[in-house]
Structures are given as structure tokens and as C-alpha cells.
Amino acid sequence: MSRRILIVDDEDDIREVAQMSLEMVAGWEVIPARNGEEGLRLAAEHLPDAILLDVMMPGMDGPATALRLRDDPQTAGIPVILLTAKVQPADRRRFEGLEVAGVLAKPFDPMDLANQVSSTLGWPG
Amino acid sequence: MLVAGFPDAVAAFLARQLRGVTVEAAPDAAAARAQLARGGWSLVLLDSAIPGGGARGVLHALSDLPPVFLCVPRAGAEGGGGGASGADADVPGVAQTFVHPLDRQALVRQAAAVLGVDGASHPPGDGSPAPREGTADALADAVRNAWERFRGPVTARVDAIEEAAIAVLEGRLTEEGRRHAEREAHKLAGSVGTFGFAQGSRLAREVETLLQGNAPLGQAEALRLTDAAVALRRELARPPSPVTAPARQQSHAGQQGHAQPGGAARALPLLLVVDDDSELAERITMEAGGRAMRTRIARDVSQARVAVSDERPAAVLLDLSFEGDRRGGLELLRELSAHVPPVPVVVLTGSGAFADRVEVARLGGVGFLQKPVSPATAVDAVSGVLHRGQQRRSCILAVDDDPVILDAVQRLLEPAGVEVNVLGDPERFWDSLEEVCPDAVLLDIDMPSVGGIELCRVMRNDARWSATPVIFLTARTEAETVQRVFAAGADDYVAKPFVGPELVTRVTNRLERVQLHRALADSDPLTGVANRRRSEELMGQLLHLAVRNKKPFALALLDLDHFKRINDRHGHGMGDEVLRRVARLLERGFRAEDVVARWGGEEFVVGMFGMDKDDAVQRLEAVLEQLRAEPFEMAGAEPLRVSFSAGIAQFPVDGADLPALYRVADATLYQAKEAGRSRVLPAGWTPERPDPAAQVDVVVVEDDPALARLLLHSLETRGYTSRWIADGREAADALTGSRPSLRARLVLLDIDLPGMDGHAVLRRLSRDRVLERTRVIVLTVRAHEAEVVQALEEGAFDHVSKPFSVPILLHRIRRAMVA
């Protein structure tokens, strides 16, 4: 089954590697977005199967974007995975209220990212 | 089809989707023009913003163009692919315009139509993340290429850290500047590991932690920031470690491949962390990522079972201090140990009770750690366990004239990881023995021509084979035969017809002993690195190689600082853990061809072929920085900070053989201890003397005390002698005259100085011919171009603008001194 993933990250290098990784390893279709606003628009437009969302972005950050996705009935059902380089207790409490499907640590191993996403979402691997 | 100005992944994607189409990529306009000029293209996909000239720059004045698909930035809010957008519509030859972000399915359809191929034959994905053949290599290449493109901007983030450090020293770090540096460190921490710089991520995380919050930052923090920035820059300048390990080769031909599930992508060992303490689990994940391990986290026993059934882990780290479900944890341990072969489990517990240890060992646990435990220690324990399992594949030689028996032996032992070489003709026994060099031999007792007992005697009479285990296969188990077998020098026998488990157990037991003996004879039992005997042997070989190839060889001797105090205050267990950590750091910090050894007590030795003293100093400093950066966590006490001192001698300048090099390295180590410990010094280092007619390596003429301290610290830790003078006139007086009170190989000269400005100092040095023996690097403020030109005209050797990066400055200093 073809999967479509939206990646929202302001860092060009990481967004690009994540995209290559998911396309090449899993063969998924990847839609890149450079910030929260673009992510919201592309999510509504493409209705992806899952959204990978960087936590620390300028402007609308990951948690804020996740809340907006929840508020829109069109995108409310799409599972969201947060990507973060820092998992502090305070941050984790903030993530808890977001009902995200999971939190993945950065840096990630490009060879393993698709596996991590699949196992977080309970997709058959 | 040419794909110009897009990430490599786009070309790779199209190549997969468009069957029978050759897809090539051009990263920039120049490459695209060159490719197009070659001709023979059927289609070009071009990004309008391709670096080096844009789409027009590519297509300008080229004749005979194939159809072009142009990809333009989104203007306003029009939908998906297709539809020309004004400005670019008149680029010549454009057949179709797409809008970013690329609608890939539409692109594939259109391209397939133009190229006349089937574009839908290959489904875009089957939902399963199992990678295809060759994917690992392709992805590794793509990641490497991406790093080449991004290394500039990524490395530039280190500047922010360095600027913050200098601002701290100058007392002008603003809240905004601090947050900016923290953000940059955070970004580095989250990204460079992905490109293969696990250590870089760790260093950046250390910086981030240091900058977090509002605790005041002083000189000590500034120096740590600078040190971390230096180490980061050094790390990022290295070639990245490959992001994916290549699939393990089958060790010999003729055997049917036992393909690992998942293939190449799963070549990195998987560590399953079973822990309800998610913070610890995540920190362990980060740490393991830096040691080429993949991790899965299971929060409870049932999640762990699911993970194990998904993919068999190489090792499990099991936290038994689980609230409530201790019994479940023990049950899981029992299950994992019952796997064939068993899954090694390292157990973490809250209590160190002996009964617990016994229970864990009884259920098959291979390691035991008591909390609190640092992520580094936990992962050390796991990598020790993995290391044990990764030893060379054992091989045996089985001799029997019955092919059915040989086949059975092969079938039983190969799944247990033993390479089986079979021989049906005992006459060829000796040749096979020499060819195979088996770790153990299986012999049939009754064979035509030569019997097993005779073969065994022959082996025992040759020193090379006298200790190799010999196991007999025999249908005769009467006492007399058994006695003859042992009298001939056999180690064991298995009765025919044999049942699988017995043969496997007896053979693998012997093989494990062989491996163990081999390892014990060569390695230090506490740390696992080479022992003195083995390392002398290896370094002797390297030295020999150095003589023959006229290459340098560096010998480093290092000794932990205040080790006795650690043992006295925290117990020998802690001391042992420190030694193990240092051994791990050294192993990681050096190349596989370097020799890392423990020579007893708290003394380690590293032998490096092809490296001179300066290279070796840098390598060891990196290890020292790492050791200092990761204090040992102590139960209910301040974390324990550990450091070492080291001395380095180089062949042939400091000694012609190992004993001579050792003596020089030892004397230098003593100097390092005397000079205040926690440092790495090359042989020939001379301490700064208070002698009035001093000769030093570097004189720093700088009126800002904070910056001067930073410079002196950087110079000192790299073994340079230095002197600081704040006033221009004073510096000029000291360095000139018929009997100067100070001689230097190099002067770092600030331009804005009290007393006499830098230009005037430079002119005096020039007039007095000091510049004939002393080089000058002027420190200027960025963007004062005229000042630089003037200084160079006045005789300066080089200039560095402020704020500068310490490693770059040190590089320039080194260059100026050797020039």
C-alpha cells in the first residue's frame, strides 16, 4: 500500500535527508514543508497518512502546528510524530497534551527512520 | 532523462518509477550545461532556481534541446502540478511547468507520456519499510552528497558558539546572543548525528546544556564552550562515519546464504531498551546512536515481547527496577535466554543485592548494572556483550569417509554459526589442516587407509596443532576404544548415531573455550583492550613498517589523574568502571590499525603508525575532551570528573625503538603531570621559564585580558610556550634592541593597543630585523581591509580577523611557525 508522508522541518539538510530516507528505504511518497504554515496548507491539500513534525521551528513551532492540525476536522485524524533533539521533562508534559502518535529523537539514523515511523504508528513492517 | 538542480533523491525516485529510462543528475547550472552539450537526452527536468545561473543560465544558447520540464516556486496559491506561471513561461523549450513542492505522481505521469514508457508499472510503495537491494548503498551515497552540500552552512553554526564564548570573556554576551547560540547548538545536536557525526551531536548537546537556563556564565564556562567548539569543528572536518554499515559478507563460498531479515539496512545491531523510565531510555538511545547501534524502546514487558517478535534484537537492556512488574521482567529475561541462540540481556536494577545478581545470572542475564547508571556506562556494558558475540566465526574441519555423516555435521553446526569444512579422504588430511587452520577437528575413528586415532597422534606431535581440540565421532563406545581415543590426545567424543543438540553443544563448548583462551592471552581482562605482551608485539610490527616505509610512528603513554583518590574515595568498583570507560573512549578515538593497550594500573599506551607528534596530540586531546565532558554519575553525590595526562614520543626523532620511545614518552608524561595534569604534551615540550631572556613560542600582544587568557589557554593546552604583554610599547621594547629580553618564534599582535599601536610595533620589529627570526600574525577587526593591507606591507606574515575561531587561529599559527 502506498503511503504518503508530510515532513515539516525548517532545516533544509534534515528535511532533505529525511525525505530521501523515507523515499529510498520505504518507497513512500514524501511531501516536504519548510514551516508550520506551509505544513498546515499541504496537510489539508494532500491529506497524508502521517505527519513528521519538527518541534523547534521559528514562527509556528511543532506543538503549535500539531494543535492547529487537531483543530481542523479535515486533518484531525492524521497521526502526528514529533521530531526533537531535546526531550526535557517540561517539553514532555507539553507533548502529552497534544495526543501525538509518538516522539522520535534527533539525530535519527537515515537507514532506520522508516522503521521507527512504522513501528511508532503500528504499521506492518 | 537529466534531472538538474534537484536533490539526488528526486533522480533516484524517477529512476525507480520510470522503467527503462536512464536518469542522471546535475547539481548545478555548469554541470547541467556540460551534460546537455553532450546530447542524446529525451527529457530534462530543471529547477528554475538551479544554483549557478538559474534555468535561463542552463538553457541559454543551447540548440537541439529536448523537451524541458521546468519547476518554479509557488506563486500565490494555485494548486498542484501543471500550468505555466508568467515569468518563466518564455524560457525556451519549456514543455511543461511544475510548481514546488513537486507533485511527484503528476511528474511521473507526464514524464512517462513524453518518454513513451510505462510510468505506473512500479508501485510507489508497498507500505513496508523493508529496503530493497542496494538501497543502503544508494542512501549512504545520497546522505554523503547531501553532507557535501550542507557542510558549509552547518559548520557555520559553530561560529555562533564561538562568538558566544568570546562574548562571555568580554562580558558582553546578551540574552539574545545566548539564546541564539543555544538554538544553534540545539540544531547541531539534532542534525549532525544523522550525517554520521555522533560525537558532534554529543558535543553540541553539551554546549546546549551549558547555555540553557539563566545561570551566569564565567570564564570556566567560556573555556568549555571554546573547547567544545574546537572539538566540534575538528569533528565536522573529518569524513563522516558511514551512516549505514555494509551488509556482512558471507565468510566463505559454497554455503547457502543465511540472509538476515531486512538485509543491509539491518546490519547495525539492534538494542532493545526495556524501561519505563523514558528519560533514561531516550538518553540511552542517543548514546547508542553514537556507537553504531539501532535502538527500540519498550515501556513494558508486553511491548518488549512485540518488539522481539518483530525483529530479534542483538542485545536487550532490561530495567528491573520497574514499578510493580518485577516478576514480568524476570519472566521476560527467562524467555530471552531460552531463545536459540539466546538473546543477551544486560539487567539494570535499583538494588545491588547479591540475591538479585544470583537470580539474574540463574535466569541467563549476561550483565548486571546497578542504578543510577549513566547512559554511557549502560551502553558500554551492551557493546561489551555485543563485542563478545562478534568474534571471528569459528571454523572446524570434519573428517569422515561417510558423506551422510559429513552432511549431517554440516547441517547441524552451520546454523549454530560454525564454519564447517568437510573432508572425505583422510589421505588429504594434512593439506586440509594447513589450508583451513581449524579451531577444532572432528574425526571419525574408523576410516579406510588411515584411522582417526592415527590422525590425532600426528596432530599432537606437531606443536602448531598440539592444543587444537579434537573430538571423535564413534559408533564404538566400549571402554577400551574410549580409552584409546583419549590416549591418542583427543579432547572429547560423541557417540554415533549422534543427536543434534549433543554434537552442537560439545563442539560449540570447545570452540568457546578456544576463543576465550585466545582473547585472554591477548587482552587485558578488565578493559578488553590489548595487554602489554600483545601490544608490544603489534607495535613492534608497526615500528617495523615505519622503518621500511620511512613513516613516522607515535607512541602515547597516558595515565589517569588522581586515580588512587578515585579508588580510595569511591571504591575499586568505580575505579574499574573509569578504566573501562577510558579504554572504550580510546578504542573509539583511534583507528582500527592503531594499537590501544593497558599496561597495568592506570597506565594506557597508544601506538599510531604514520602519525607525527602533533597529530597524536590532537587525537588524544579529543579523547581527553570527551572524558572531561562526560562525568560519571554517582548515587547521591556530585558527578565524578576524570581526566588523564599524556606524553607522546615520535619515531625516529625521539627514539629508535620501543624502549627508547617509551622512556621519552614517560618523561614527557611526567612533565605533563608537573605542569598541572589533564593535558597532552609532545616530547621536547619546554615549560615557560621565568628567565628574563626567555625564548618562547608565542608572544601575545593584546590589551584585552579576557581574550588574552583565552589565547594563552589555547596555546598552553597544545604545548606551546607563551607570554602575554598588554602594552604595545612594552612589547616592542622587550622584543627589540641588541639584547632583547624576550625572543619569540611568533608574535600575535593586536592592532588597537595602548602605548603604541600595532602598526608602530610592527615597524619597530621590522627596523630592528626581528622579523627575520620572528613571524607576526596581526589580529584585526573584521572589515578593516585597509588595516590588513597596511600590516602586511609593514612585514606581518599573516592576519586573522576578530572575532576569530580558535582552531583556525591555531592552524595559522602552526603554518606560520613551519613556513
| SS3 per-residue string spanning B85-128 | CHHHCCCCCEEEEEECCCCHHHHHHHHHHHHCCCCCCCCCCCCC
CB B71, CB B47: distance < 8 Å: yes
Which range in A96-110, B113-127, B304-318 is most confidently predicted, on average pLDDT? Answer: B304-318
Helix locations, B364-499, DSSP H: 375-389, 403-413, 429-436, 452-460, 479-487
Judged by CB atoms closer than 8 Å, whether chains meet at B12 and A23 is answered as: yes
| φ and ψ of A4, to 5 deg | -125, 125
Q: Are strands A50-54 and B637-640 parallel, antiparallel or unpaired?
A: unpaired
Out of A78-92, B357-371, B672-686, which region has the weakest mean confidence (pLDDT)?
A: A78-92
Model pLDDT, residue B322: 60
Q: Name which of B692, B688, B766, B698 is nearest B732 in CA terms.
A: B766
Rounded mean pLDDT, B106-131? 60
Contacts of A20 in chain B (CB under 8 A): 7-9, 12, 139, 142-143, 146
Measured distance CA(A5)–CA(A7) in Å, rounded? 6
Is the pLDDT at B721 greater than 50? The verdict is: yes
Cell of B608: 599510531
Out of A23-37, A58-72, B390-404, which region has the weakest mean confidence (pLDDT)?
A: B390-404
Contacts of B8 in chain A (CB under 8 A): 20
* For testing contact with chain B, the best of A17, A22, A84, A113 (most B CBs within 10 A): A17
Give B165's pLDDT tier (boundaries 50, 70, 90). Answer: confident
Measured distance CA(B313)–CA(B471) in Å, rounded? 33
Give B77's pLDDT tier (boundaries 50, 70, 90). Answer: very low
Q: Is the ipTM of this complex over 0.90?
A: no
Measured distance CA(B309)–CA(B802) in Å, rounded? 58
Distance from the Cα of A70 to chain B's closest Cα (Å) equals: 23
Q: Which of A45, A110, A119 is closest, CB to CB, to B194?
A: A110
Contacts of A119 in chain B (CB under 8 A): 296, 307, 310
Cis omega before residue B129 (within 30°)? no
Sorted by sequence, the CB contacts under 8 Å of residue B243 that are 6+ apart come out as A109, A110, A111, B139, B140, B143, B144, B194, B195, B196
Judged by CB atoms closer than 8 Å, whether chains meet at A23 and B9 is answered as: yes
Interval B733-743: pLDDT, tens: 999 887 788 88
Nearest-5° Cα angle at B582, B578 to B585 = 140
Sorted by sequence, the CB contacts under 8 Å of residue B207 that are 6+ apart come out as B161, B181, B185, B188, B225, B228, B229, B232
Give A46's pLDDT tier (boundaries 50, 70, 90). Answer: very high
Cell of B339: 531463545
Contacts of B194 in chain A (CB under 8 A): 14, 17, 106-110
DSSP B449: S
* For testing contact with chain A, the best of B3, B6, B8, B13 (most A CBs within 10 A): B13
Out of B115-129, B296-310, B361-375, which region has the weakest mean confidence (pLDDT)?
A: B115-129
Measured distance CA(B413)–CA(B415) in Å, rounded? 6
Torsion of Cα atoms, B266 then B268 then B269 then B273, to 10°: -90
Interval B35-51: pLDDT, tens: 888 888 888 999 888 88
CB B223, CB B192: distance < 8 Å: no
**Distance between first and last Cα of chain B:** 51
- Mark which residues 685-714 of B lie under 8 Å from A by CB: none
Q: Of residues B240 and B778, which shows the higher confidence score?
A: B778
Q: Could you tell me if residue B276 is left (phi over 0), alpha (psi between -120 and 50 degrees) or otherwise beta?
A: alpha
Q: Of residues B33 and B255, which shows the higher confidence score?
A: B33
- Mark which residues 206-245 of B lie under 8 Å from A by CB: 208, 243-244
CB B559, CB B645: distance < 8 Å: yes
Model pLDDT, residue B660: 93
Contact with chain A for residue B154, Cβ under 8 A: yes
Cis omega before residue B261 (within 30°)? no
Cis omega before residue B803 (within 30°)? yes
Q: Which of A105, A110, A117 is closest, CB to CB, to B282?
A: A105
User: E strands, A55-113, where?
Assistant: 80-84, 102-105
Model pLDDT, residue B271: 92
Give SS3 for B163: helix
Q: Which of A20, A83, A105 is closest, CB to CB, to B9?
A: A20
Measured distance CA(A112)–CA(B140) in Å, rounded? 12
Is the pLDDT at B253 greater than 70? The verdict is: no
Cell of B757: 599601536
Distance from the Cα of B16 to chain A's closest Cα (Å) equals: 9
* For testing contact with chain B, the best of A16, A20, A82, A118 (most B CBs within 10 A): A20
Rounded mean pLDDT, A15-31? 91
Contacts of A17 in chain B (CB under 8 A): 143, 146, 194-195
| φ and ψ of B402, to 5 deg | -100, 110
Give B256's pLDDT tier (boundaries 50, 70, 90). Answer: very low
Q: Name which of B271, B5, B140, B269 is nearest A21 in CA terms.
A: B140
Say what angle helices B500-522 and B403-413 make with each other, to 10 degrees: 60
CB B616, CB B685: distance < 8 Å: no
Sorted by sequence, the CB contacts under 8 Å of residue B572 that are 6+ apart come out as none
Distance from the Cα of B271 to chain A's closest Cα (Å) equals: 13
Helix (H) or strand (E) holding A54: strand A50-54
Give B167's pLDDT tier (boundaries 50, 70, 90). Answer: confident
Out of A7-11, B172-176, B198-202, B246-250, which region has the weakest mean confidence (pLDDT)?
A: B246-250
Instruction: Name the strands in the sheet holding B270-274, side by side, starting at the edge strand that comes first in the sequence.
Output: B294-298, B270-274, B315-319, B345-349, B367-370
Judged by CB atoms closer than 8 Å, whether chains meet at B12 and A45 is answered as: no
Model pLDDT, residue B245: 36
Cell of B478: 566400549
Judged by CB atoms closer than 8 Å, whether chains meet at B128 and A84 is answered as: no
What pTM did the predictor assign?
Answer: 0.37
DSSP B690: -
Distance from the Cα of A10 to chain B's closest Cα (Å) equals: 10
Give B803's pLDDT tier (boundaries 50, 70, 90). Answer: confident
Interval B625-669: pLDDT, tens: 888 877 887 777 778 889 999 999 999 999 999 999 999 999 999
Model pLDDT, residue B202: 82
Out of B156-170, B232-246, B578-592, B730-744, which region has the weakest mean confidence (pLDDT)?
A: B232-246
Helix (H) or strand (E) holding B316: strand B315-319
Measured distance CA(B701)–CA(B740) in Å, rounded? 16
Give SS3 for B312: coil
Distance from the Cα of B339 to chain A's closest Cα (Å) equals: 22
Model pLDDT, residue A125: 57
Which range in A79-83, B67-71, B107-111, B771-775 is most confidently predicted, on average pLDDT? Answer: A79-83
Contact with chain A for residue B198, Cβ under 8 A: yes
Judged by CB atoms closer than 8 Å, whether chains meet at B125 and A56 is answered as: no
CB A67, CB A40: distance < 8 Å: no
Contacts of B286 in chain A (CB under 8 A): 105
CB B505, CB B513: distance < 8 Å: no
> What does the longest C-alpha to C-alpha distance in chain A come to?
38
Q: Name which of B687, B427, B635, B658 is nearest B543 in CA terms.
A: B658
Cell of B228: 567544545
Look up residue B698 and give its amino acid.
V
Judged by CB atoms closer than 8 Å, whether chains meet at B129 and A26 is answered as: yes
Contact with chain A for residue B305, Cβ under 8 A: no
- Cβ contacts below 8 Å, chain A against chain B, sum to 164
Helix (H) or strand (E) holding B518: helix B500-522
Model pLDDT, residue B86: 43
Measured distance CA(B319)–CA(B60) in Å, rounded? 65
Distance from the Cα of A67 to chain B's closest Cα (Å) equals: 23
**Which residues is B25 bridged to in the sheet?**
B3
